[in-house]
Structure 1
Amino acid sequence: MIGVMLSAIKILGIVLLVIIGLALLIILMVLFIPIRYKGKIYFKKVPDINLNVSWFFKFLNVNIIYKDRLDIIGKIGWFFKVYSNKDEEDKDTKKEEHLVSEIIQEPIAGKETITVEKTDNNTIIIDNHNKAEDNKQIEELDSQEKRKSKQKKTKEKKMPNEQSKINKIVEKIKDIHYLLTYEENKKVLLMMLEKLRKLLVHILPKKIVGYFKFGFEDPATTGQVLEGLAIFYPLYKDNFKIVPMFYDEIIEVDISFKGKLRVFYAAYVALILWLNKKKIKTRPR
């Protein structure tokens, strides 16, 4: 009996260890296996966009395609489709068609009724529809009077409320000024901005290939745009060409890019930002 109990405990222990090991393996995979993305954008009068986001050799995969219409397809386990906006649109159209058919089949209601009232000398015919219209007009006049009275009351209450709002805005401006000018806050904020910059560099595409051909009616505008794009030269370098057309009005784009994001690095930066947020001192009251 004791031997059976010990063997059962061993089996339970092994099962628990396997479950814990699998959970740790999944967590490590999520943290260290990068989320990869790649895309292709082509534009010449009509946009043609294709974006793919995947994880673990496309075990999780999302395709976003835009050509005349937007198509989003999500897959899990390489073959199983879990989401498609085409299917959702088809369901919505079927529901609308069903509702329209039900409305058409319903009988027409709300016919006008006429009542006849008899007096001693005359017979009076009364249209109930006209009665209802008169009642509606009376109700509308009553509602207008009520609105006017409410507006008067709100105008009287607005004066102190507006003053309190102005005071709140002034207090917020003082808080922001203290936050940005206090020396210790400056150091913390600069460090946080540096971490955000590194995260942005980590997320941005590592490889950009293609060209961007552009030109405007005014050659000076083309030169200004070229000057602005020159700031981003370290990102695209020699693989991506910018072709200014000073005497033609044209916009043509053909871009292919790849990049990745490690969840571990994003979580690390988020943790540092959260810890340093507590170090920021607010204005003493």
Structure 2
Amino acid sequence: MGIVIGILKTVGVILLIILAVLLLILCLVLFVPVRYRARGEIPAEGKPHGIIRLTWFFSSLSYSLEYDTGKYEKNYLSQLKICGFRFRMKQKVPKAAAADEKKSVPGGDDAGKSAEEEKKPENEGQCSGEAVQKVQKLQEKDTGKERSAQGREDGSCKGEEQKGEEIKGKKPEEESEQESKPEGKSKKESEEKETASHKTAWWVRFSDMLSSFFKAVKETFQNIQYTISKLCDKIKQIRDNIDYYIDVLTLDETQLILKNVHGEAGRLLRHLRPRKMKVDFIVGTGDPASTGQILAIHGMLYPIIGETVHISPDFEKPRLEGEFDIRGRVRFVVAFAAVLRIILDKKTWRFVRRLKKEEMTNGRKK
């Protein structure tokens, strides 16, 4: 019994250690901030460059994204660093450098091809031409033989058919004399029947054509009527939905929910904004009017950005140069708390049910 209790104690201790480690990791993720920094420069002469870096827990985990137009083939490089170990994308050599390396290498595929072509004999083209001519002559002979054979077969078949028709056409003289008398009557009757059948066939064709035309017109009108009625039903449904959602949004409870969401979003944005920011740019569009509009927008945002963003205008020529350095931090616990405050509110779920058009009785779903 004591052995069993000892085993249970060890298992419990192990489970408590695992639970403590998980709680420690959760607290680190929620409360240790993720620091970010973005800095770059747009020089007057040269290529722009910049870098964005994210670090967490004393830089044990970091990610950086660097942009430089002349340094990398795709103009950027991203790398991840975990406890000092770097994991980066393969750096590709720029196309201009690769082309220079290929040119600098002596020989190569072109040299091999030229050497092989030099080794080929001069008379090779003549030999190949004579061989092609011989093959063409043999093919022409074979095709002539096949055509002649086909002609003979066709001629023999036609001769046999003509002979059979002649044999069938021949009749005894006695039968021809007996049948010569009623031939006149039968011809007249057959002609009369043919004319009558032609007349009836023409009328039937005309009546069928008229009936098919009227049928097609009727079907088209029915289709048009169906599409119009369907379109009207859709428009009515859309109008009813718009009226319903307008009524839902104008409720006092909905207004309280929207105010709550607006407040939480503002709190989160204030937490995300940079702690330190320095932006210094010289801006010119070449048009004094548009440059003045940019300065007007900067003046409108001055209560928010303050003196951290400085813009110098250039009214004479188009120009954009300067540098920036932005730093800040983010704690996941702030975003998590904001989301929880919105989700745990019962009014939010009632608002969601109304948007889904679920029937409610006394604040509960049926």
8 Å Cα contact 2:281-2:311 kept in structure 1: yes
- Rounded Cα–Cα distance in structure 2 between residues aligned with 1:57 and 1:216: 43
8 Å Cα contact 1:215-1:251 kept in structure 2: yes
**Counterpart amino acid of 2:29?**
V
Shift in alpha-carbon separation, 1:178–1:26, aligned structure 2, 3 A: same
| Cα drift, residue 238 of structure 1 | 2.6
Between Structure 1 and Structure 2, the one with more helix by share is 2
Partner SS, residue 280 of structure 1: helix
Q: Which has the larger radius of gyration?
A: 2
**Counterpart amino acid of 1:264?**
V
**Counterpart amino acid of 1:37?**
Y
What is the number of equivalent residue pairs in this alignment?
226
Give deviations 1:223-270, integer Å, cap 9, x for gaps. Answer: 111111223324442343221222332112311001111101001111
**Counterpart amino acid of 1:54?**
T
- Aligned residues: percent identity? 26
Partner SS, residue 58 of structure 1: coil
1:244 to 2:313 alignment: yes
Aligned pairs for 1:20-59 (under 5 A) are 20-44=19-43, 46-59=47-60
- Which position in structure 1 is the counterpart of 2:252? 183
**Counterpart amino acid of 2:264?**
K
| Cα drift, residue 35 of structure 1 | 1.1
8 Å Cα contact 1:61-1:78 kept in structure 2: no
- Rounded Cα–Cα distance in structure 2 between residues aligned with 1:205 and 1:260: 7
**Residue from 254, 261, 264 that aligns with 2:323:** 254
1:75 to 2:81 alignment: yes
**Residue from 77, 80, 89 that aligns with 1:84:** 89
1:5 to 2:36 alignment: no
| Cα drift, residue 44 of structure 1 | 3.7
Aligned pairs for 1:264-275 (under 5 A) are 264-275=333-344
Runs of 5+ consecutive residues of structure 2 not aligned to the other structure: 70-74, 93-142, 155-219, 360-366
TM-score (normalised: structure 1):
0.68
TM-score (normalised: structure 2):
0.54
**Residue from 258, 262, 280 that aligns with 2:351:** 280
Partner SS, residue 258 of structure 1: strand
- Rounded Cα–Cα distance in structure 1 between residues aligned with 2:244 and 2:153: 82
- Rounded Cα–Cα distance in structure 1 between residues aligned with 2:89 and 2:233: 50
**Counterpart amino acid of 2:253?**
E
**Counterpart amino acid of 1:261?**
V
Aligned pairs for 1:211-230 (under 5 A) are 211-230=280-299
Give deviations 1:102-159, integer Å, cap 9, x for gaps. Answer: xxxxxxxxxxxxx978623499xxxxxxxxxxxxxxxxxxxxxxxxxxxx9xx86865
**Residue from 262, 279, 287 that aligns with 1:193:** 262
**Counterpart amino acid of 1:52?**
R
Between Structure 1 and Structure 2, the one with more strand by share is 1
